[in-house]
């Protein structure tokens, strides 16, 4: 590609936008960083005319290679970053996709508003990236994924046409196939393959009155998983209202201990569960009693439970949660120098299949991979991440085999191959485990309709 007023072909710029957090390194021929929707549309039209592939990018925190371009144009949306309107009355936010998610959320709380999706990477990812991957976070356990808050989207299709889609406001709708009744749902999680999103309208909630947060410790992983199932049952019975339940296994605790400062992780602890519940400030002690009661019955080290009673302690706990994937990513990056790397699973299973699947997946990690691994994450959603750290190419091949087997296992147990990161270029082979061939063909047909030349995010989701 030649230099143009729309994009740069400078080698240093192309290199700077070539990779994401998965470690996959692409080779874009050019990089564009438009500042308006009109510019995006002009670029896509130009690329469609010349059949140039266009790979949209946010902040490239993807763990599956979604924003990595092999040839063609890397279309980075980070400069489309204006907040257009926060409508306090209707509780709506209209923003451009390049706004950093954490920066969008911070001022909302002061205004008495709340946007629940909280991927651990919220300070390293864009709102657009979170919509296009239908990102989740710890609070998805109570509030659901990003999709639930997306009201409308403006986007540029593969031929350069601009269009807007908005959810129907009717409380019932039976017009056409379910997946198409709200096309917003087709776009959320479409990983750049159906259009370039240029504007997002999000539903906001009133800020919760307050909440408690804690970290409970256990001597055995099995006890911790039993506690998660009990907490989930207590939620269904209306006895507790956890908004998140997050796992740290023994290897995870070893990794976060150096970051724990004054928080005091007991030396004997082999597993921890991080939990939160919203409540009125004057209900805190009743709510806490409910949790401590459940913890005692679940054989937790109840006395050692850390309860965050101040904002500062709460932030320390959340930072601790964030330290883990960051530390694993860093180790993965270092391992790449010797041909290795980090592989992360993203499968999820129904809560009733959780304990058996974690046990079987742990056996697969031990037997098929045989190297170091940690298990952590969104356990309340049946969604623990297994991170396998391969020190060389031979170990990496074994890690791939192990994660592949785990994905198949999750589907057998009624779960999914990917609960939040998406398929990207790294998990394409798994798609066939989850859907019959005709479903995949139908998805391809939708893509062909809006992107007849197949220029948008080639290689994502489908081979
Ligand atoms: C340390 C760490 C922790 C993480 N924790 C979580 C977590 O808790 N939950 C979770 O869900 N994910 C998590 N992730 C994965 C990742 O952060 C999310 O997928 C994030 O939403 C991606 O946003 P991004 O701006 O970085 O997008 P990118 O990675 O740049 O892109 C993601 C995908 O969206 C497409 N895309 C981006 N912007 C647009 C646009 N405007 N129009 C069309 N397509 C677009 C890209 O083509 C790509 O397919 C984590 C990643 C890391 C590194």
Q: Which residue has better confidence, 257 or 204?
A: 204
Query: What is the 279 CA–ligand 1 centroid distance (Å)?
Result: 31
Residue located nearest, by CA, to atom 50 of ligand 1? 121
Q: 321: pLDDT confidence band, cut at 50, 70 and 90? A: confident
Residue 316 has a pLDDT of 86
Q: Percentage of residues in the chain with pLDDT exceeding 90?
A: 89
Q: What is the model's pLDDT at position 174?
A: 92
Question: Does residue 30 or residue 322 have the better pLDDT?
Answer: 30
3-class secondary structure per residue, the chain? CCCCCCCECCHHHHHHCCECCCCCECECCEEECCCCHHHHHHHHHHHHHHCCCEEEECCCCCCCCCCCCECCEEEECCCCCCEEEEECCCCEEEECCCCEHHHHHHHHHHCCEECCCCCCCCCCCEHHHHHHCCCCCCCHHHHCCHHHHEEEEEEECCCCCEEEEECCCCCCCCCCCHHHHCHHHHHCCCCCCCCEEEEEEEECEECCCCEEEEEEEECCHHHHHHHHHHHHHHHHCCCCCEEEEEEECHHHHHHHHHHCHHHCCCCCCCEEEEEEEECCHHHHHHHHHHHHHHHHHCCECHHHCEEECCHHHHHHHHHHHHHHHHHHHHHHHHHHCCEEEEEECCCECCHHHHHHHHHHHHHHHHHHHCCCEEEEEEHHHCEEEEEEEEEEHHHHHHHHHHHHHHHHHHHHCCCECCCCCCCCCCCHHHHHHHCCHHHHHHHHHHHHHHCCCCCECCCCCCC
Evaluate if residue 260 carries a pLDDT over 90: no
Q: Looking at residue 360, what is its pLDDT?
A: 98
Task: Kindly give the distance from the C-alpha atom of residue 223 to the centroid of ligand 1, in angstroms, as a whole number.
Answer: 33
User: By the 8 A CB rule, do 64 and 133 touch?
Assistant: no
Q: In what order do the strands lie in the sheet with 383-392?
A: 306-308, 211-218, 271-278, 242-248, 373-378, 383-392, 339-344
Domains of the chain (ranges, CATH numbers): 83-206 (3.30.465.10), 211-319 (3.30.70.2190), 325-421 (3.30.70.2740)
Task: Calculate mean pLDDT across residues 386-415.
Answer: 97
CA of 75 relative to ligand 1 center, distance in Å: 14
Residue 309 clears pLDDT 80, i.e. is over it = no
Ramachandran quadrant class, 61 (left: phi over 0; alpha: psi -120 to 50; beta: rest): alpha
pLDDT of residue 326: 84
CA nearest 64: which of 122, 144, 129?
129
Asked if the model's pLDDT at residue 311 lies above 80, the reply is: no
- Please give the distance, rounded to the nearest whole angstrom, from the Cα atom of residue 185 to the centre of ligand 1: 17
pLDDT at 397: 97
Instruction: Identify which of 17, 41, 59, 67 to mutate to test ligand 1's pocket (most ligand atoms within 8 A of the CB).
Output: 67
Predicted local distance difference test score (pLDDT) of residue 317:
87
Spacing, Cα 143 to ligand 1 middle (Å): 19
Average pLDDT over residues 163-174: 93
The predicted model gives 230-255 an average pLDDT of: 95
Per-residue pLDDT band for 314 (boundaries 50, 70, 90) equals: confident
Average pLDDT over residues 270-282: 95
Nearest CA to ligand 1 atom 15: 62
Assess whether pLDDT exceeds 90 at residue 424: yes
Residue nearest atom 2 of ligand 1, based on CA coordinates = 121
Binned at pLDDT 50, 70 and 90, residue 81 comes out as very high
**Site residues for ligand 1, CB cut-off 6 Å:** 20-21, 55-63, 66-67, 77, 97, 119-121, 125-126, 128-130, 132-133, 135-137, 191-192, 196-197, 325-326, 329, 420-421, 457, 460
Which residue, by CA, sits nearest to atom 53 of ligand 1? 61
Q: How far is the CA of 336 from the centre of ligand 1 (A)?
A: 21
For residues 85-92, average pLDDT: 96
Q: Whose CA is nearest to atom 5 of ligand 1?
A: 120
Give percent of the chain with pLDDT exceeding 70: 100
Pocket mutation for ligand 1, best pick of 20, 55, 75, 119 (most atoms within 8 Å of C-beta): 119
pLDDT band for position 116 (50/70/90)?
A: very high
CA distances for 91 relative to 112, 148, 243, 428, angstroms: 10, 14, 21, 37
Which of 125, 259, 274 is the pocket-test mutation for ligand 1 (most atoms within 8 Å of CB)?
A: 125
Q: 20, 57, 342, 376: which to mutate for ligand 1, most atoms within 8 A of CB?
A: 57
Residue 364 has a pLDDT of 98
Q: What is the mean pLDDT of the chain?
A: 95
- pLDDT at residue number 73: 98
Which tens digit of pLDDT belongs to each residue from 23-49?
899 999 999 999 999 999 999 999 999
- For residue 328, the ligand 1 atom closest to its alpha carbon is 1
Residue 135: both structure tokens together: 């990102």
Tell which atom from ligand 1 comes closest to the C-alpha of 127. Answer: 25
- Nearest CA to 249 out of 328, 136, 194, 148 is that of 328
pLDDT of residue 103: 97
Q: How confident is the model at residue 119 (pLDDT cuts 50, 70, 90)?
A: very high
């Amino acid at each position: 590609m030649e230099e143009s007023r729309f994009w740069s072909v400078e080698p240093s710029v192309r290199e700077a936008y070539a990779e994401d957090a998965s470690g996959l390194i692409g080779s874009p021929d050019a990089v564009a960083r438009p500042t308006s929707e009109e510019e995006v549309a002009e670029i896509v039209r130009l690329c469609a005319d010349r059949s140039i592939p266009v790979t949209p990018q946010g902040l490239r925190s993807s763990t599956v290679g979604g924003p990595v371009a092999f040839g063609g144009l890397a279309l980075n949306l980070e400069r489309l970053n204006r907040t257009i309107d926060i409508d306090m009355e209707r509780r709506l936010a209209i923003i451009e996709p390049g706004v950093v998610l954490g920066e969008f959320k911070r001022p909302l709380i002061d205004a008495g508003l709340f946007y629940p999706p909280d991927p651990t990477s919220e300070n390293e990812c864009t709102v657009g990236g979170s919509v296009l991957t239908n990102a989740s976070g710890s609070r998805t356990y109570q509030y659901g994924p990003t999709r639930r808050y997306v009201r409308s989207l403006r986007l540029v299709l593969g031929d350069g046409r601009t269009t807007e889609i908005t959810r129907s406001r009717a409380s019932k709708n039976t017009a056409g196939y379910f997946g198409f009744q709200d096309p917003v749902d087709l776009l959320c999680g479409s990983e750049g393959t159906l259009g370039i999103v240029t504007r997002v309208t999000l539903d906001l909630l009133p800020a919760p009155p307050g909440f408690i947060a804690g970290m409970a410790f256990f001597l055995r992983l099995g006890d911790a998983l039993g506690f998660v199932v009990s907490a989930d049952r207590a939620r269904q019975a209306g006895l507790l209202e956890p908004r998140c339940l997050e796992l740290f296994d023994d290897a995870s605790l070893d990794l976060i201990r150096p970051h724990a400062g004054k928080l005091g992780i007991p030396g004997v602890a082999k597993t921890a569960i991080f939990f939160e519940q919203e409540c009125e400030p004057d209900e805190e002690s009743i709510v806490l009693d409910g949790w401590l009661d459940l913890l005692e019955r679940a054989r937790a080290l109840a006395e050692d439970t850390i309860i965050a009673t101040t904002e500062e302690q709460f932030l320390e706990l959340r930072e601790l949660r964030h330290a883990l994937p960051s530390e694993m990513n860093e180790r993965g990056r270092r391992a790449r120098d010797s041909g290795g790397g980090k592989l992360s699973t993203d499968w999820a299973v129904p809560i009733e299949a959780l304990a058996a699947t974690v046990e079987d997946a742990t056996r697969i990690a031990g037997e098929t991979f045989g190297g170091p691994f940690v298990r952590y994450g969104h356990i309340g959603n049946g969604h623990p991440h297994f991170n396998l750290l391969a020190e060389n190419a031979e170990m990496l091949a074994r890690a791939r085999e192990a994660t592949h087997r785990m994905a198949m296992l999750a589907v057998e147990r009624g779960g999914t191959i990917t609960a939040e990161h998406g398929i990207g270029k790294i998990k394409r082979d798994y798609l066939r485990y989850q859907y019959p061939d005709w479903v995949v063909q139908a998805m391809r047909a939708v893509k062909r309709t809006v992107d007849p030349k197949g220029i948008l995010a080639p290689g994502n989701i489908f081979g």
